[in-house]
Amino acid sequence: MSTISTRFAGLDLRSPVIVGSSSQTASVTRLTEYENAGAGAVVLKSLFEESITMEIAANDTDIHPEAYDYLAGYISEKVLSDYLDLIREAKKACTVPVIASIACHTDGKWEEFAARIEEAGADALELNIMSLCTARNYTPGAFEKMNEEIIAHVAGKIGIPVIAKIGSNLTNPVAMCDRLSAMGAKGVVLFNRFYPTDIDIEKMDFTTGNPFTSSADLTLPLRWAGIVSASVPGLPVAVSGGVDSWQGLVKSVLSGASAVEVASSVIRQGASWIAEANEGLEHWMEKKGFGTIEDFRGKLNASDPENADRLMRTQFIRHFSEVH
């Protein structure tokens, strides 16, 4: 019999399927459904930096600076308090690891928040660093330095594993992951995804694009999981975006991932998707003669020079040099 248990960011998971942060993971009822279906861990709905600052701004009615400071502190405390309650309720209801999540784009008060999140019982903290670098007078390296400082400041404050969920808008994800590991990250998720933007040409206004990922989105994290897992072997990798079947789960592990984060598939298909993905993975492993995840994790990553060639350049050259 094959076992699909794995280890990611210092956490023992009974399955590589981690239910990623979404509106669904703010519900303890949903969380228990995901656990019962076989999830290895759950990531709670993110505490957004923007939601705090926007709520403070909405209540700023030209009040005295001292009153504003009091209001800002009260709102921050209320948002955090509600989140801590969610962590406590989730820990009471779930036996699988419960991962808290902060979506941030600046190096702010996260050390203080992180300490209280640890006290509330979270098993790990995912820092979802979501930011676009658009400054015209940008100094090369400043964006990467911000990522490093956020991780370093939080990891130095708490004892639970800190997981970095980073964007693909980096010059060199390998160097970034290596630095994040040095700063204390115990795992990295490739990649976070900005909410899709579209334009309504009749109203001439912005609208929301398709919020869900598909298998087509898997190509980017697969490539970088294959490269990062080989180049920074001490940093466990999770793939996020595009895992919509058990086949995508297998591909992610072959590329070097220890786990996958899935949101779109469970939102669209429900908790049963997890059970189907686990079953498909287990059957494939038995057919191939693999007893554990580690038996085939990274078999197609860039540690093999031929795989590295395919992950980086040769497939591009072969495809576009062919005469059609």
Residue type, 113: F
The rounded mean pLDDT for the chain is 88
> Is pLDDT above 50 for 51?
yes
For residues 293 and 64, what is the distance between their CA atoms, to the nearest angstrom? 59
What pLDDT does 138 receive? 80
> Is pLDDT above 70 for 50?
no
Q: Checking DSSP bridges between strand 41-43 and strand 17-19, what pairing results, if any?
A: parallel
Q: Tokens representing 289?
A: 């003669």
In DSSP terms, which residues pair with 99 in a beta bridge? Answer: 43, 124
Q: How distant is the alpha carbon of residue 61 from its chain centre?
A: 36
> Is pLDDT above 70 for 212?
yes
Query: What is the reported pTM?
Result: 0.89
Q: Which three-class secondary structure string do you get for 113-133?
A: HHHHHHHCCCCEEEEEECCCC
DSSP per residue, 273-306: HHHHHHHHHHHHHHHHT--SGGGTTTTTSTTSHH
Domains parsed from the chain with CATH numbers: 6-321 (3.20.20.70)
Please calculate the CA angle 92-96-99 and round it to the nearest 5 degrees. Answer: 85
What is residue 42's three-state secondary structure? strand
Q: Tokens representing 308?
A: 């590295």
Do residues 261 and 238 lie in contact, with contact meaning Cβ atoms separated by under 8 Å? yes
Q: How many residues does the chain have?
A: 324
Q: pLDDT digit string (tens) for 99-138?
A: 999 988 777 767 888 999 999 999 999 999 877 777 788 8
Q: Who contacts 103 (Cβ-Cβ below 8 Å, separation ≥6)?
A: 21, 46, 47, 48, 49, 50, 128, 130
Please state whether the peptide bond connecting residue 191 to the residue before it is cis, i.e. omega within 30 degrees of 0: yes
